[in-house]
Structures are given as C-alpha cells and as structure tokens.
Amino acid sequence: MQLKIKIASHPLIQHWAAILTNNNNPGTILRTACSELGKWITYEIMREWLVTETIELKTNISISLINSHYKYIIVIIMPYGFILAEGARALLPTANIALVNDNNIINNIPDQLNSFTKVLILDLFLDEAIITPVLKDLVKKGVILNNIKIACLECGTSQLNQLGHSWSKLEVYTTKVNSAGHEENWSRENTFKNKFFI
C-alpha cells in the first residue's frame, strides 16, 4: 500500500497558502497565515478522524458528541510546528500537547498509549529524518499507525518517497507537494525563521 497524501483543497486553505508564497509579506501576516492553515488543515483531518458517539436524551432526541474514550495528542515539531498548533488548538482544545526537541525526542507524552490514542503531528516542512524517529517512538508506545496523521504546509516528493517505504499506511495532509530539493526547503525555512523569530 502506498503512502496516502491528501492535498487540502478548501478555498480558505488555498488562500492562506498563497499568502505564504510571498516572502515579502511581513512576519505578522505570514504567522497569521500559518496559524490559519493549522486550523483549516486540522479541520480537514478531523472531518474523517474524530470519533463521535450518539447519546439519547430523555426528550427522545439523540445528539452526537466526541467519544470520550479517545485521547487526542498534538505532537509539535519545534520550532515551526508551534505556529501551526496555534490554529489546531482552537479545534482540539482538550488535546494534550507534546513537543519534539532538537534530538527528535518527544517530550510530555506518556510511556504507554493505546488504540484509543489519536496523534496529529504538525510541522511546516515535512522532514523524513525527523518524522521517522517520532513515528517509531509513537508506535513503540502503543499508538496504531492508522491513528496518526501528519499535517504540514509543504512536502517534497523525495521526502514522501522515503517515508512511504517504511510507513505506507500513513496519511499526510499538506497544501503543496513539490520536487524541490533540501536546499530550497532550507531556504524557505530560513525565511520563516527570520520573519518569525528575529
């Protein structure tokens, strides 16, 4: 089975993604675009991913609520994934937050997880060298691969091919797939770094 790649096509996602392509925009606009993209990509993921349960009320009316058995974790690849998380948190306010540090180690996450744990991994640019150790750690802790989704703004075909060899059941949500090499992505990351953190 091949890696599942879903390019989010909602008009608002395309609008904010287009704003990010203009490096002349001030940092506040780019940061807002990233936050909005985090929210709308998370929305696209949640449409098929959230588990609901039907509750019968005494008035013979039934309602659907998020199933309380499932635990949601947002894993943020630091530092840029944190900007996407600003928007994602608005849609998953009860989700636990876990941070991936420079050594690709997940902090703030229990040692034992289970099939009721759903994990959303957020980063601006998909990097197979970072994602692979994170995925290995999550699976080792008990998360089912089908319960892991990755959201990123851009990803390269070479990165996706490498990821697909080991993690073919994984789903990646993005706004753009490009054939750019690491050098171009590194240049874009530097642009964001200069705009956001300096």
Dihedral, CA of residue 119, residue 177, residue 4 and residue 182, to nearest 10: -70
**How open is the CA angle 180-195-9, to the nearest 5 degrees?**
50
As a whole number, mean pLDDT of residues 76-96 equals: 86
Give pLDDT tens digits for 160-184.
888 888 888 899 999 888 876 555 5
CB 107 within 8 A of CB 61: no
CATH number for position 186: 3.40.50.2020
96-100 and 106-107 as β-strands: parallel, antiparallel, unpaired? antiparallel
Please tell me which residue, 2 or 147, carries the higher pLDDT value.
147
**195 has a pLDDT exceeding 70:** no
Pairing verdict, β 148-156 and 176-178? parallel
1: pLDDT confidence band, cut at 50, 70 and 90? very low
Q: What percentage of the chain has pLDDT greater than the value 90?
A: 24
Which one is predicted more confidently, 134 or 27? 134
Number of structural domains, the chain? Answer: 1
pLDDT at 64: 80
Residue matched to tokens 């240049």? 187
Q: Is the pLDDT of residue 110 over 50?
A: yes
Q: Which domain holds residue 78?
A: 4-197
